[in-house]
Amino acid sequence: MSDRKVALVVGAGDAIGSAIAKAFAEKGFTVCLARRSGDAVEDYAKSLREDGYDAYGFGMDARNEEQVEGLFAKIEGEIGQLEVVVFNIGANVPMGILDTSARKFAKIWEMACFAGFLVGREAAKRMVERERGTILFTGATASVRGSAGFAAFASAKHGLRAVAQSMARELGPKNIHVAHVVIDAAVDTPWIRDNLPSYDVLMAKSGVVLPSDLAKNYVMLHEQPRNAWTFELDVRPWIETW
């Protein structure tokens, strides 16, 4: 196994997750990208390799304990030691409370909270032994404020924030930086471009978060000196209201 530094992004979608992976690749990391669609994530990993970066794509359901354990074992056994692990799964599904079945509620919780616990735990197992590492969780407005029509998502994101808080307090003294990133704004994604009526106006005045700029915050968190670690970073464009 090589001594290269490795970053894993779980939830490496077409916008935020892939931008985070590229930002770490630009810093010299070997990047591993994971999402449920193995073909899609491998296509992006291939594009990174074509640009000269060291990248691997993996299909994985982060709600499945065996698959999560297997991915970490494979990366550590065949690629290198994980220095950074980012959990970036969203599950932002608007749903009125009267239309929220128990099955839908549980599925959203599994995706946005339980999967984060599994990923965080497996990262911690390796990092505690080495007494170093960074674990980053992507949050949202729903992490701190439940809006109408988002009860399931808000409960999951609130839960993920609590998991991150607990991990930070437990693992910080072991030299492992755990941080939670609250993205309280619209991010430039295909869904936002198609569904935000004011998209063009906001983009013209830098009112939509660009994934590439957002990703720089994740690298910054990893590079912070341990005498000044940030636990929670709230990201919003300059015109976003509180």
Q: CATH number, domain at 215?
A: 3.40.50.720
pLDDT at 171 over 80: yes
The residue length of the chain stands at 242
* pLDDT tier for residue 2 given thresholds of 50, 70 and 90: low
pLDDT at 184: 87
Least confident of 12-21, 98-107, 199-208, 233-242: 233-242
The range of the structural domain enclosing residue 15 comes to 6-234
Mean pLDDT, rounded, for 165-194: 93
In a domain, residue 17? The reply is yes
* pLDDT tier for residue 169 given thresholds of 50, 70 and 90: very high
Closest CA to 11 of 38, 30, 34, 32: 34
Mean pLDDT, rounded, for 164-191: 94
Residues near 2 by beta carbon (within 8 Å), at least 6 away in sequence: 79, 80
Mean pLDDT of the chain, nearest integer: 93
- C-alpha 167/C-alpha 41 separation (Å) is 28
Mean pLDDT, rounded, for 38-64: 94
pLDDT at 4: 85
Pair 36, 47: CB distance under 8 Å: no
Report the interhelical angle of 115-130 vs 151-171 (nearest 10°). 10
How much is the pTM?
Answer: 0.95
Alpha helices, DSSP H, located in the chain: 16-26, 38-50, 65-78, 102-109, 115-130, 151-171, 190-195, 199-204, 211-223
In a domain, residue 1? The reply is no
Better pLDDT: 7 or 92:
7
Q: Residue 94 half-sphere exposure, CB side, CA atoms within 13 Å?
A: 4
pLDDT at 1 over 60: no
Q: Tell me the pLDDT tens digit for each residue of 63-111.
A: 999 999 999 999 999 999 999 999 999 888 888 999 999 999 999 999 9
Name the amino acid, one letter, at 162: A
Mean pLDDT, rounded, for 31-43: 91
Total number of domains constituting the chain: 1
Pair 97, 154: CB distance under 8 Å: no
Pair 88, 164: CB distance under 8 Å: no
Better pLDDT: 96 or 1:
96
In a domain, residue 48? The reply is yes
Which tokens is 225 given?
């000196």
- C-alpha 115/C-alpha 113 separation (Å) is 5
